[in-house]
Chain A
Amino acid sequence: MSRRAERTPWLTALALPGAIWLAALVALPALATALISLASRGPFGEPVPPWGLHNYALLLTDPLFARVLTRSLLLGAGTTLLCALVGYPLAFHIAASRRQTLWLLAITIPFFVNFLIRVYAWMLLLQKEGLVNAAAALLGAGPFALLPSALAVWVATVYTFLPFFVLPVYAVVERIDWTLRDAALDLGAPPLRAFTAAVLPQTLPGLAAGAALVFVPAAGTFVIADLLGGGKITLIGNLIQLQFGAAQHWPLGAAASTVLMALALLGLAVCLRAFGAREGGR
């Protein structure tokens, strides 16, 4: 059904601004980061010769780094999972809703407020005298020590990235061919089976896009962990920030960045191969 537009020089030219943007602001910095990761540490943390793989050797032999990396990947995976559990049904609801525009507005409106301020809002909600504990007190429970905690970091990360999951899934749910579900029912599939056989496969590209858009930044976030984890939960994002800042070790920070980037790209490739490739077959 997706008809490819014919390739003309004009259409190729349309990609130019985007290509320049990506080259200047994504590819070049990524290359620079990879280059710096091969340098040694100067007196102020700046990259200096000699060049080599020593930063990677340092990272890979350090059990702390392995723990931080695992923790970050777990946060990324956990966030993606919860976003899927909440966002997937929500996307169906929105697509079927008569108040679609209102829903989409509600989902995008938080972006009008600065990210930091939204994280501070979570601090207000979760603190000891916060709204959550006040509500719990009304029910005769609590108070709970919600802050700082890993749970708080997780919840706020899910909150932050949920729109990135809902929107791509919503985009595919909107275009679902429901006659395929009818056909499955008609051929004797019970409702749940009809869903998994005829509807779920149609949403895989959206699921893949949503998962990639959530997993990659969620695994690399550091502000949320800083503010809601009480500085006790170190993620790879915190580690990188530390190396470029207080620890004054750019090359090590660059090496950690490169490892994260490589893992993210790998995950993306797996995602696209598993889910997205089907669309390419059309």
Chain B
Amino acid sequence: MAEASRGASAALDLRGICRRYGDQVVLDGVDLEVLEGEFFSLLGPSGCGKTTLLRIIAGLEAPDEGRVFLAGRDMTHTPPHLRPVNTVFQSYALFPHLTVAGNVAFGLRMRRLPKREIRERVDAALDLVGLRGLAERRPHQLSGGQRQRVALARALVNEPRVLLLDEPLSALDLALRRELRLELVRLQERLGLTCLFVTHDQEEALVLSDRLAVMERGRIRQVGSPEAVYERPISPFVARFIGEANLIPGECRGDGRALTPLGELEFPAGAAPKSSGPLWLAIRPEKLRLFRTEPAQPNRVQARVEGIVYTGSENRYLLDAAGIRLLAETLNHDSEEPGHEEFAAGETLWVVLPPERLVVLADEPPG
């Protein structure tokens, strides 16, 4: 289906990529399409194969099976220096013996552009990342954030069809990471860049991406917009990996009801699996409602406050409900309004799991 329309607006198209190291399967049939001008994140725990996938796209590694299409052309066997992609490496990989300007100019020099054009484009790229004054510095004279910007400028200056980013922010402290994250989005929008961003940081992926893919053990588990993946995860793994989730095991009883250790819980009728059997009910911590007195709402359960974590803007309650641990998050706005009350450790309270907030997930074999 739609084979012809495929690739027309896809900057990157991966089909059935497999990669093995010995008998260890690192990538197990990855299909992925990144559209022109899209910011796409590959999200997964370390060791899920996301960096290997990036290296295969860059041509630094060859897949055992599958094809790599870049801008509509099959480049599976094209060597890295002839591919229209550039990478921002996790360790930045700046050339220590070259200046900042020398680093940024490297790709343009390899393409033998006229000296004047190189100078102009290097200056423009350094302006873009706010490093104009540091052109003559050496990498070891720069801070981590500055090095990161040089690495970004060095890749951007070549105007790649796809910019590959391998956890480029992971070595920076939180404040700087947030700042650079915003800058990256701004640049991407301004330049209309196509970005493939690899990260294990779900917050980063949610903030940055137009779409994202969650990877686990060499496979892509779910692709979608951040909202779609967050609100409607398709498996316990995705639910746990993107954000936090309370996962409650249960047995489907048909007609939108499941028997769980918390008693019988209602869930949206449309979400019911076809057959009865084991399932998981997932609910995000911020979707739980907490009450001091028993509310007249469905899916209410009594629980005890085991612990409280104060994070500034939120209170996080660790609850014990019939032996099931639940995490609840409430906004910290000093309200006694029902559902937003504050509680102390050891208190007994009522938790409501609003049926429309429950996501029904098929049972997934562990491991």
> Which of the segments B90-98, B198-206, B319-327 contacts the partner chain?
B90-98
Pick from B96, B97, B154: contact of A187, CB below 8 A. Answer: B154
**Chain B residues closer than 8 Å to A46, beta-carbon distance:** none
Return the CB mask of A167-184 against B: 1 if under 8 Å, else 0.
000000000010110111
Residue of A nearest to B97 (CB): A201
The contact sample of 7 A-B pairs, CB cut-off 8 A, is A179-B93, A182-B55, A185-B79, A185-B81, A187-B86, A188-B111, A189-B106
Residues facing B in A173-218 (CB within 8 A) are 177, 179-180, 182-191, 193-194, 197-198, 201
Pair B95/A188 contact, Cβ less than 8 Å: no
CA distance A189 to B95 in the complex (A): 13
Tell me if B15 is interfacial: C-beta within 8 Å of chain A. Answer: no
The interface of chain A, by Cβ under 8 A from chain B, is 177, 179-180, 182-191, 193-194, 197-198, 201, 278, 281-282
B82 nearest in chain A by CB position? A188
**Contact string, B135-160, partner A, CB cutoff 8 A, digits 1/0?**
00010100000000000001100100
Task: Tell me the complex Cα distance, A40–B290, Å.
Answer: 104
Secondary structure at chain A's binding surface: helix, strand, loop or mixed? helix
- Interface assignment of B58: CB less than 8 Å from any CB of chain A: yes
Do the beta carbons of B93 and A177 come within 8 Å of each other?
Answer: yes
Q: Tell me the minimal C-beta distance from A38 to chain B in angstroms.
A: 44
Chain A residue with Cβ nearest B154: A187
Question: Are A186's CB and B140's CB within 8 A?
Answer: no
Write out the residue numbers on chain B whose beta carbons fall within 8 Å of the beta carbon of A278.
97
When chains A and B are docked, how far (Å) is the Cα of A261 from the Cα of B106?
Answer: 43
Bitwise, B40-56 to A at CB < 8 A (1) or not (0) is: 00000000000000010
Closest chain A CB from B136 CB (angstroms): 14
Tell me if B60 counts as interface (CB < 8 A to partner A): yes
Q: Which of B73-118 contact A (CB under 8 A)?
A: 79-82, 85-87, 89, 91, 93-97, 106-107, 110-111
Q: With A and B bound together, what is the CA distance between A236 and B154 in angstroms?
A: 53
Decide: B95 and A185 in contact? CB cutoff 8 A: no
| A188/B107 in contact, CB under 8 A | yes
Q: How far is the CA of A189 from the CA of B86 in the complex (A)?
A: 12
Assembled-state Cα–Cα distance A177/B93 (Å): 8
Residues of B within 8 A of A177 (CB): 91, 93
Shortest distance between the CB of A214 and any CB in chain B (Å): 24
Please give the distance in Å from A211's CB to the nearest CB on chain B. Answer: 19
B95 touches A186 (CB 8 A): no
**Complex Cα distance A177/B91, Å?**
10
Point out the residue from A179, A191, A197 that lies within 8 Å of B89, measured CB to CB.
A179
The distance from the CB of A178 to the nearest CB of chain B, in whole angstroms, is 9
Is the Cβ of A282 less than 8 Å from the Cβ of B93? no
- Establish whether residues B158 and A187, one from each chain, have CB atoms under 8 Å apart when the complex forms: yes
Across the interface, name the chain A residue whose C-beta is closest to B83.
A186
Q: Report the bound CA distance from A148 to B253 in whole Å.
A: 98
Please indicate the chain B residues that have their CB under 8 angstroms from the CB of A188 in the complex.
81-82, 107, 110-111, 158
**A-contact 0/1 string along B305-343, CB 8 Å cutoff:** 000000000000000000000000000000000000000
A281 near B138 with CB under 8 A, answer yes
Contact B97 A185 (CB under 8 A): no
- The residues of A that contact B80 with a CB separation of less than 8 Å are 182, 185-186
User: Is A185's CB under 8 angstroms from B111's CB?
Assistant: no
The residue of chain A having its C-beta at the shortest distance from the C-beta of B58 within the complex is A186
Distance between B220 CB and nearest chain A CB, rounded to angstroms: 24
A182 to B110, Cβ gap below 8 A? no
Interchain nearest-CB distance for B143 vs A (Å): 15
Task: Contacts A188-B111, A193-B110 given; indicate if A183 touches B81 (C-beta within 8 A).
Answer: no
Q: Which residues of A contact B82 (CB under 8 A)?
A: 188
Question: Are A182 and B95 in touch, CB under 8 angstroms?
Answer: no
Contact A186 B60 (CB under 8 A): yes
Question: Of B58, B95, B111, which is in contact with the most chain A CB atoms at under 10 Å from its CB?
Answer: B95
Known contacts A183-B94, A186-B80, A194-B81; can you find 11 more A-B pairs with CB under 8 A? A177-B93, A180-B93, A182-B80, A183-B95, A184-B106, A185-B80, A186-B81, A187-B106, A187-B110, A190-B81, A201-B95
Question: Which A residues are in CB contact (< 8 Å) with B93?
Answer: 177, 179-180, 182-183
Q: Which residues of A contact B111 (CB under 8 A)?
A: 188
Is the Cβ of B110 less than 8 Å from the Cβ of A282?
Answer: no
Query: Do residues B89 and A182 form an inter-chain contact, with CB atoms below 8 A?
Result: yes
B259-290 contact mask (Cβ, 8 Å, vs A): 1 or 0: 00000000000000000000000000000000
Which residue on B lies nearest to A200, using beta carbons?
A: B97
User: Which of B58, B87, B91, B140 contacts A282, CB < 8 Å?
Assistant: B140
Q: How far is the CA of A191 from the CA of B79 in the complex (A)?
A: 9
Most chain A CB within 10 A, of B81, B89, B111, B154, is at B81
**A281 and B158 alpha carbons, distance in the complex (Å):** 29
Q: How far is the CA of A193 from the CA of B85 in the complex (A)?
A: 18
B83 to chain A, nearest CB (A): 8
Note all chain B residues with C-beta closer than 8 A to A282. 96, 140
Q: How far is the CA of A184 from the CA of B85 in the complex (A)?
A: 13
Q: Is the CB of B89 within 8 A of A187?
A: no
Q: Give the CA-CA distance A186 to B165 in the complex, in Å.
A: 12
Q: How far does the alpha carbon of A189 sit from the alpha carbon of B108 in the complex, in Å?
A: 10
A183, A278, A281, A282: residue with the most chain B Cβ atoms closer than 10 Å:
A183
Is B110 touching A189 in the complex (CB atoms < 8 A)?
A: yes
Q: B60: which A residues are within 8 A, CB to CB?
A: 182, 185-186
Instruction: Give the residues in chain B near A194, CB-CB below 8 Å.
Output: 81
Instruction: List A contacts of B97 (CB < 8 A).
Output: 201, 278
